[in-house]
Amino acid sequence: MTDVVNSSTPQSEVSQSAPSVAHRPRRLRRTETLRRMVRENTLRVEDLIYPLFVREGEGQREAIPSMPGCYRYTLDLLLQEASEVYKLGIGAIALFPLIPSDQKDNAGTESYNPDGLIPRAVRSLKQSVPDILIITDVALDPYSSEGHDGIVQDGKILNDETVAVLVKQALVQAEAGADFVAPSDMMDGRIGAIRKALDAEGWIDVGILAYSAKYASAYYGPFRDALDSAPKFGDKKTSVDRKVSPTLVNKWL
C-alpha cells in the first residue's frame, strides 16, 4: 500500500520518501512572475510575415474569393502595400505570383526567367522599401501547365529533373535580391541542392526558409486559388501537400 503524506509529515521525511526525478520543469512554474519571465513565445508584430500576391498589369487590385481581405496586386500597387506594411512594423513579406496561362508549361521554365514577374517584383521592392525582408516561394505549381509542383511524365512527378529547375529558380530569385528563398514543393534533395548552388554562385547570405509538414489537407486550397495552381489531374499528396503557411514555419536554414 502506498503511504499517504499528510500536512503534518515533516518536510525531511517527504524528501526522503519522494522518488528520484531528474527533470522538474514545474519549478519554473511556481509563480506568475516566474512563468511570465520564462514563457516560450510572445507574438509581436515584428514576428509576422505578410503574404503578398503579385500579378501582371497596372493599377489593379483583384480580390481573392477564398481569402477575404486579401488581393492580387499589380506591381505598382504592390509597392504601395509593402510600404504601408513596413510602416506598421511588419518587417518581412512572402511573395507569390499569379502567372498568365500562356507563360505556363510542364517544365515551369518561366520560373527561372530573370525578367519574370517575381524577379522584377523583388528588384522593385528592394528599391522602394530597401529594408524590408523579401521571401520568395520556390515551387513549380504557379508556373506549371499541369498545376503540379514538379515536372510531370506519364502521370508521375519527376523528382530529380524538378530539383534542377528549382535550383535555377532559386538562383534567379537570389540574384534579383531575395533575402530568403522558400522551397514549398517537397521534392527530395532540393534543400541541399539549392544551398550548394547558392553558395557556389556567391549567394552565401541568402537564407533558405524551410516549411513545416502538414500532410494532405485543404489548408493550402486558398493559396492554390490565389495562384491559379490547382492540379489539372490527381492530387498533390506525393509532391506538395506537406507544406504550411510561412507564418507557421519552425526551422530556418
- Residues 91-135 have pLDDT tens digits of 999 999 999 999 999 999 999 999 999 999 999 999 999 999 999
Would you say 204 and 148 are in contact if contact means Cβ atoms under 8 Å apart?
Answer: no
What does the longest C-alpha to C-alpha distance in the chain come to?
A: 82
Q: Which residues contact 44 (CB under 8 A, 6 or more apart)?
A: none
d(C-alpha 55, C-alpha 53), whole Å? 7
Predicted pLDDT at 244: 39
Number of Cβ atoms within 10 Å of the Cβ of 228: 17
pLDDT at 57: 95
Q: What's the pLDDT at 239?
A: 58
Q: Reduced to 3 states, what is the DSSP secondary structure of residue 168?
A: helix
Highest CATH level, class, for 45-252:
alpha beta
Task: Please state, rounded to an integer, the average pLDDT across all residues of the chain.
Answer: 84
What pLDDT does 206 receive? 95
Residue stretches of the chain with pLDDT short of 70: 1-19, 211-225, 227-253
Residue 231 has a pLDDT of 66
User: For 157, what's the count of Cα atoms within 13 Å in the CB-facing half-sphere?
Assistant: 26
pLDDT for 249 equals: 38
**Distance (Å) of CA 242 to CA 103, 187, 236:** 26, 11, 9
Q: What is the pTM of this model?
A: 0.76
N- to C-terminal Cα separation, the chain: 54
Q: What does the pLDDT look like over 204-222, one tens digit per residue? A: 999 998 765 545 556 666 6
Strand order in the sheet with 49-55: 61-63, 71-74, 49-55, 92-98, 133-138, 180-183, 207-210, 251-252
